[in-house]
Amino acid sequence: MTIDEVSRPSRVAGADEAISPEELQLAARNHGIPLEALRYDVTPAGLHYLLIHYDIPDLDPVTHTLTVDGAVGRPLRLGLTELRERPRVTRRVAMECAGNGRALLHPRPVSQPWLVEAAGNAEWTGTPLAPLLREAGIAPEAVDVVFTGADHGVERGVEQDYQRALPVADALRDEVLLAYEMNGAPLLPQHGAPLRLIVPGWYGMAHVKWLRAISVLTGEFDGYQNAVAYRLRRDADDPGVPVTRIEPRALVRPPGFPDFMSRSRVLRPGPCTVDGRAWSGHGPVVAVEVTTDGGVSWTPAILDPPTGGEWSWRRWRYEWTPQPGRYSLGARATDASGRTQPVEQPWNRGGFANNLIQRVDVLVVGE
């Protein structure tokens, strides 16, 4: 008996292949934000998107420790009390799963079947990582910093602790946090209690939960989650390029009320404010455009003033007065780097960084 009997290679679904029981199991275990929760500047913890790779580990915050070792001059070992005694910072951060939108691709990569809801915007409180690394004394020849979680499992035949690495320059960014609170309360178990990493601007795979160890390497980290998973590749033999920062995205908060099964929206004629949120990991969102005809035409939306700092999402709104009929709503964001959401999404084997424009079908019915 071998692990390979329960952990199979990645694959792409057949042309007409339905969502599998395994994918449904993942979809039930993980969850996206209900789109009506886009009304909140700060996403309540229970509504924030959630992805758990393996099991939620059973950790005692009283005895939990974080080690810092590897290519450092002074290895460290700190408990949560010691981390709480260090300088305290709160940052509001828009976070998105790298696989958001995967289930909308054709052909579909078989994995967690996200549509567009794998996002949230929370306030994370903790202590900055950079001073801790400097205190440990990073070696001049250091290349990567590896973050190890307490969650353990097997993926594509590889048994592992969940580990992700950041280049030293990214790990030393001022905004990177060792977080122990979410929205002013201690972290919930599913959100990484008692300690997690927060890397503003990067997709969610970088924000290692249940953090127990930090190791500084003098070479590139070749662990599974860096070297195999979370890479943009065309086929199984393509080495690909790493997934890092969040591509720009705008989401529509669906107007009106939904049909139970289809989630199609029903709306009465008359004035209606269509709104939503937009964010990017490459720079501030500088424009959002709205379509009501499935992308045939676009109209600029109004951007509300930024709230919560440079890593938070931003509200946009559009005043609309529809007549009875069928409409297909969507929004696209442009950030300060010039990146804009695509109308047609380039395909990749993992289904990562898919920021294709969302569609919200609306039926406007007469009185």
Q: Could you write out the DSSP letters of every residue in 158-223?
A: EEEEEEEEEEHHHHT-TT-EEEEEETTEEPPGGGTTT-EEE-TTB-GGGS-SSEEEEEEESS----
Question: What fold is seen in the domain 3-242?
Answer: Sulfite Oxidase; Chain A, domain 2 (3.90.420)
User: Looking up tokens 């919200």, which residue turns up?
Assistant: 360
Q: Which residues of 39-64 are buried (b: 16+ CB within 10 A; e: fewer)?
A: eebbbebebbbbbbbbebbebeeeeb
User: pTM for the whole thing?
Assistant: 0.96
Q: What gap in Å lies between CA 46 and CA 204, rounded to an integer? A: 17
pLDDT tens for each residue of 224-271: 999 999 999 999 889 999 999 999 999 999 999 999 999 999 999 999
Pairing mode, if any, of strands 285-291 and 257-258? unpaired
Nearest to 359 by CA among 334, 323, 314, 327: 327
Taking 50 as the pLDDT cut, the residues of the chain under it are none
Q: What gap in Å lies between CA 206 and CA 213, rounded to an integer? A: 14
Q: What is the largest CA-CA distance in the chain?
A: 73
Please name the residues in contact with 321: beta carbons below 8 A apart, sequence gap of 6 or more: 269, 270, 271, 272
Q: In this structure, are residues 32 and 121 in contact, taking their beta carbons and an 8 Å threshold?
A: no
Helix (H) or strand (E) holding 134: helix 129-136
> What is the predicted pLDDT for the residue at 157?
86
> What is the predicted pLDDT for the residue at 1?
64
> What is the predicted pLDDT for the residue at 367?
67
Distances (CA, A) of 70 to 137, 169, 196, 227: 10, 17, 20, 20
Q: What gap in Å lies between CA 204 and CA 225, rounded to an integer? A: 12
Q: In this structure, are residues 66 and 212 in contact, taking their beta carbons and an 8 Å threshold?
A: yes
3-state DSSP assignment of residue 288: strand
Q: What gap in Å lies between CA 118 and CA 116, rounded to an integer? A: 6
Tell me the HSE value of 305 on the side-chain side, using a 13 A CA sphere. 1
Domain limits, CATH 2.60.40.650, in the chain: 249-364
Domain limits, CATH 3.90.420.10, in the chain: 3-242
**Domain 249-364 class, CATH top level:** mainly beta
